[in-house]
Homo-oligomer: A and B are copies of this chain.
Amino acid sequence: MTSRDRSIHRRASDDYRWEGVDELPYKEDDRALFKSITRQVLFSDPQMHGELRYFEVAPGGFSTLERHEHMHAVLILRGRGHCLVGDEVRSIETRDLITVPAMTWHQFRATKGEPLGFLCMVNAQRDKPQLPTADDLKRLKADPTIAAFLDPEG
């Protein structure tokens, strides 16, 4: 394979679906640890040490509540919402940068009105995410702000 063969140009539709990129829908989750989120891997190559993924959360949906040793580098590409990083809940909007440090609980939630789309750069070699135990959730929800974030209908 020559270098030219690996030259790739992909265009996106207006709804942020890139041609030639698989969209991986997430199953709905019994424990409500995530809801209505899809994933597209935009760049992944044996010669690159990082990967760039695009996640999109439907209005009212949210990403997985998780933590892991690897860092996340996030750029909000469309929409707005809130995120939990560690013990802080923040409002987020298009173009915001969010660094999620190692072993830090995090989740991204879309507003009800529009989808929330974000880029996430990670190391190509990384550990698997850890999900919260019942005790972890209890500890997180002891903070009223986090409890309201995790259960906005509650």
Contact = CB atoms under 8 A, between A and B. Distances in A.
A97 B50 contact: no
Contacts of A71: 45, 47-48
Contacts of A52: 50, 52, 73, 75, 121
A70 B98 CA distance: 26
Interface stretch (A57-65, A99-107, A138-146): A99-107
B86 A10 contact: no
A133 interface: no
Interface stretch (A11-19, A23-31, A108-116): A11-19
Contacts of A85: 7, 9
A8 interface: yes
A4 interface: yes
A48 B98 contact: no
B87 A4 contact: yes
A97 B18 contact: yes
Contacts of A87: 4
A14 B125 CA distance: 35
A92 B10 CA distance: 10
Nearest to A42: B97
Interface of A: 3-4, 6-12, 16, 18, 21, 42-43, 45, 47-52, 70-71, 73, 75, 85-88, 90, 92-93, 95-104, 119, 121, 123-125
